[in-house]
Chains A and B, each alone.
Chain A
Amino acid sequence: MLEQDVRYLKFKTFLSFYCPHCKKTFNVERQNERGLIFTAKYQQNDFELKLSPYLDVFEVKVSYPLKDGEILDDLICPQCKKSIVSTEVRCSDCGSKVGEAIVSAYAKLIPFYFCLKFGCHWHGITKEDERFIKLKIPRQAMPEQDQVVRISNFQEVPYGYTSELALLEAGRCLQCKKPGCVEGCPVNIDIPSFIALIAEEKFDAAIKKIKEANVFPSICGRVCPQESQCEAHCILGKKDEPVAIGRLERFVADWERKSDKVKIPEIKISTGKRIAVVGSGPGGLTAAADMRQLGYEVTIFEALHEPGGVLTYGIPEFRLPKSIVKFEIDFLRKMGVRLELNHIIGNILTIDELLEHFDAVFIGVGAGAPWFLGVEGESLGNVFSANEYLTRMNLMKAYLFPEYDTPKPKGNKVAVIGGGNVAMDCARTAIRTGASEVTIIYRRSRQELPARAEEVHHAGQEGIKFKLLTNPIRFLGTDNKMIKGMECIKMQLGEPDASGRRRPLPIEGSNFIHDCDMAIVAVGNGPNPVIFHSTPDMKLDARGYIQVNPETMETTKEFVYAGGDIVTGAATVILAMGAGRIAARAIHQKLSRTPRTRK
Chain B
Amino acid sequence: MARGTIIRFDIEAPKIARKVKAGQFVIIRVNETGERIPLTVADKDEFAGIITIIFQIVGKTTALMRSLNEGDFIRDVAGPLGRPADTENKGTVVMVGGGTGVAILHHVTKAFKESGNYVIGIIGSKTREMLILENEMTAICDELVITTDDGSYGERGFVTDPLGKYLEERYDVRLVYAIGPIPMMRNIVKLTRKYNVPTMVSLNPIMIDGTGMCGGCRVKINNEIRFCCVDGPDFDGFQVDFEELEKRNSMYLADEKTSLLFSIR
Distance, CA A406 to CA B244, complexed state (A): 22
Question: How would you classify the secondary structure of chain A's contact residues: helix, strand, loop or mixed?
Answer: loop
* Contact of A348 with B225 in the complex, beta carbons under 8 Å: no
Contact assessment for A387 and B35 in the assembled complex, using a CB-CB cutoff below 8 Å: no
Cβ contact within 8 Å between A384 and B209? no
Chain B nearest CB: distance from A312 CB in Å? 12
User: Within B40-72, which residues are at the interface with A (CB < 8 Å)?
Assistant: 60-61
Given the contacts A344-B81, A379-B218, A406 and B211 also touching, CB distance less than 8 Å: no
**A381 vs B91: C-alpha distance when bound (angstroms):** 41
CB–CB A388/B216 < 8 A: yes
> How many angstroms from the CA of A370 to the CA of B36 in the assembled complex?
19
Q: Most A CB atoms within 10 A — which of B35, B61, B262?
A: B35
Query: Which of B15, B34, B212, B220 is most buried by chain A, counting CB atoms within 10 A of its CB?
Result: B212
B230 near A374 with CB under 8 A, answer: no
Minimum CB–CB distance from A308 to chain B (whole Å) comes to 14
Q: How far is the CA of A397 from the CA of B213 in the complex (A)?
A: 17
Chain B residues with CB under 8 A of A547: none
When C-beta atoms are compared, the residue in chain B nearest to A392 turns out to be B208
- The secondary-structure label for the interface of chain B is mixed
Kindly identify, within residues 199 to 217 of chain B, every residue whose CB is under 8 Å from any CB belonging to chain A.
208-209, 211-216
Within 8 A of B (CB), among A375-416: 378-379, 381-382, 384-385, 387-388, 391-392, 395-397, 401-408
Check if A368 is an interface residue, CB within 8 A of chain B: yes
A344 near B78: Cβ-Cβ < 8 Å:
yes
Residues in chain A near residue B36, CB distance under 8 A: 305, 396, 406
Q: How far is the CA of A310 from the CA of B71 in the complex (A)?
A: 34
The reply to whether B216 and A384 contact each other, CB–CB distance below 8 Å, is: yes
Q: Does B75 contact A (CB under 8 A)?
A: yes
- Check A379 against B211 for contact (C-beta < 8 Å): no
- Interface residue B251 (Cβ < 8 Å from any Cβ of A): yes
B219-261 with Cβ < 8 A to chain A: 219-220, 225, 227, 230, 241, 243-244, 247-248, 251-252, 255-256, 258-259, 261
- Determine if B247 and A396 form an interchain contact, defined as CB atoms under 8 angstroms apart: no
Residue of A nearest to B216 (CB): A388
- Tell whether A51 is near chain B: CB-to-CB under 8 Å: no
* B193 close to chain A: CB less than 8 A: no
Contact B76 A341 (CB under 8 A): yes
Interface assignment of B79: CB less than 8 Å from any CB of chain A: yes
- Chain B contacts with A in 95-133, Cβ cutoff 8 A: none
- The reply on A481 being an interface residue by CB < 8 A is yes
Q: Smallest Cβ distance from A293 to chain B, in angstroms?
A: 29
Q: Tally chain A residues at the interface, Cβ within 8 Å.
A: 43
Is the CB–CB distance between B78 and A370 below 8 Å?
no
With most chain A CB atoms within 10 A of its CB, the pick from B75, B78, B79, B259 is B78
CB distance from A531 to the nearest CB of B (A): 10
By the criterion CB–CB under 8 Å, are A372 and B230 in contact? no
- Say whether A153 faces chain B, with CB atoms less than 8 Å apart: no
B208:A368 contact, CB within 8 angstroms:
no
| Across-interface contacts of A370 in B (CB, < 8 A) | 213-215
Residue from A304, A349, A385, A405 within 8 A of B60 (CB atoms) = A405
Residues of B within 8 A of A379 (CB): 218-220, 225, 241, 244, 248
Q: How far is the CA of A403 from the CA of B258 in the complex (A)?
A: 10
Given contacts A379-B244, A388-B208, A406-B208, contact A347 B60 (CB under 8 A): no
Please tell me if A303 contacts chain B, counting CB pairs below 8 Å: yes
In the assembled complex, B8 has its CB within 8 A of some CB on chain A: no
Contact A403 B33 (CB under 8 A): yes
* Cα of A396 to Cα of B252 in the assembled complex, Å: 15
Alpha-carbon separation in the docked complex, A407 to B250 (Å): 12
**Cβ contact of B214, chosen from A305, A381, A388, cutoff 8 A:** A388
Complex Cα distance A303/B81, Å?
11
Q: Give the chain B neighbours of A369 by CB distance below 8 A.
A: 212-213, 215, 227
Instruction: Give Cα A395–Cα B208 distance, bound, in whole angstroms.
Output: 10
A530 at the binding interface (Cβ < 8 Å): yes
Minimum Cβ distance to chain A for residue B86 (Å): 14
Q: Please name all residues of chain B whose beta carbon is closer than 8 Å to the beta carbon of A86 when the two chains form the complex.
A: none
Query: How many Å from the CB of B210 to the closest CB on chain A?
Result: 8
Q: Which residue of A lies closest to B253 (CB)?
A: A407
Give A327-379 interface residues, CB cut-off 8 Å to B: 341-344, 347-349, 368-370, 372, 374, 378-379
Pair A368/B212 contact, Cβ less than 8 Å: yes
By a CB distance below 8 angstroms, the chain B residues around A372 are 215, 218, 225
Q: List chain A residues, Cβ under 8 A from B190.
A: none
If A372-B225, A530-B230 touch, does A405 touch B35 (CB 8 Å cutoff)? yes
The answer, among A368, A405, A481, A528, for a CB contact under 8 Å with B259, is A405
Q: Give the chain A neighbours of B209 by CB distance below 8 A.
A: 303-304, 313, 391, 395
Contacts of B15 in A (CB 8 A): 343, 348-349
Cβ-defined contact, B252 with A480, below 8 A: no
Report the minimal beta-carbon distance from B64 to chain A, rounded to whole angstroms.
8
Inter-chain CA distance A457–B72, complex, in Å, is 49
A529 within 8 A of B: yes
Docked-complex contact A405 and B79, CB < 8 angstroms? no
**B213 contacts A387, CB within 8 Å?**
yes
Pair A378/B225 contact, Cβ less than 8 Å: yes
Within 8 Å by CB of B255, from A378, A401, A530, lies: A401
Q: Which residues of A contact B141 (CB under 8 A)?
A: none
Contacts of A391 in B (CB 8 A): 208-209, 213-214
Distance in angstroms between the alpha carbons of A402 and B208 in the assembled complex: 16
1/0 per position for A298-313, CB-CB distance to B under 8 A?
Answer: 0000011100000001
Binary B-proximity of A404-438 (CB < 8 A = 1, otherwise 0):
11111000000000000000000000000000000
Shortest distance between the CB of A367 and any CB in chain B (Å): 10
Most chain B CB atoms below 10 A, which of A305, A401, A530: A305
Query: Smallest CB–CB gap between A527 and chain B, Å?
Result: 10
Kindly provide the distance from the CB of B187 to the nearest chain A CB, expressed in whole angstroms.
20
Cα-based distance from A405 to B61 in the complex (angstroms): 8
> Which residues in B have their C-beta under 8 angstroms from that of A480?
247
Whether the pair B79, A347 counts as a contact (CB closer than 8 A) is yes
| Docked-complex contact A529 and B225, CB < 8 angstroms | no
A300–B23 Cα gap in the complex (Å)? 28
B contact residues around A397 at 8 Å (CB): 33
Taking a contact as CB atoms under 8 Å apart, the answer to whether A528 and B247 are in contact is no
Q: Which among B76, B251, B259 is the interface contact of A305 at CB below 8 angstroms?
A: B76
Question: Residues of B contacting A385 with CB < 8 Å?
Answer: 214-216
Indicate if B156 sits at the interface (CB-CB under 8 A): no
Give the residue name and chain of the A residue nearest to B215 (CB).
Answer: A385
Given contacts A381-B248, A388-B208, contact A347 B80 (CB under 8 A): yes
Q: Which of A347, A368, A374, A381 sits near B81, CB closer than 8 Å?
A: A347
Would you give the shortest CB distance from B195 to chain A, in whole angstroms?
29
Residues from chain B with Cβ under 8 Å of A528 in the complex: 211-213, 230
CA distance A201 to B212 in the complex (A): 48
Q: Are A407 and B252 in contact (CB under 8 A)?
A: yes
Decide if B78 touches A406 in the complex (CB within 8 Å).
no
Closest to A371 in B: B215
Given A305-B76, A379-B244, A396-B35, 13 further pairs, Cβ under 8 A: A305-B75, A343-B78, A344-B81, A348-B16, A378-B225, A379-B218, A396-B208, A402-B262, A403-B262, A406-B208, A407-B259, A481-B247, A530-B211
Contacts A/B (CB < 8 Å), 15 sampled: A303-B211, A305-B78, A341-B76, A344-B79, A347-B81, A348-B16, A370-B214, A382-B251, A387-B213, A388-B216, A391-B209, A392-B208, A401-B255, A405-B259, A406-B36
Chain B residues within CB distance 8 Å of chain A: 15-16, 19, 29, 33-36, 60-61, 75-81, 208-209, 211-216, 218-220, 225, 227, 230, 241, 243-244, 247-248, 251-252, 255-256, 258-259, 261-263
Give the 10 A-B CB pairs with smallest separation, nearest first. A407-B255, A402-B262, A388-B214, A342-B78, A385-B215, A481-B247, A405-B35, A406-B35, A305-B76, A368-B213
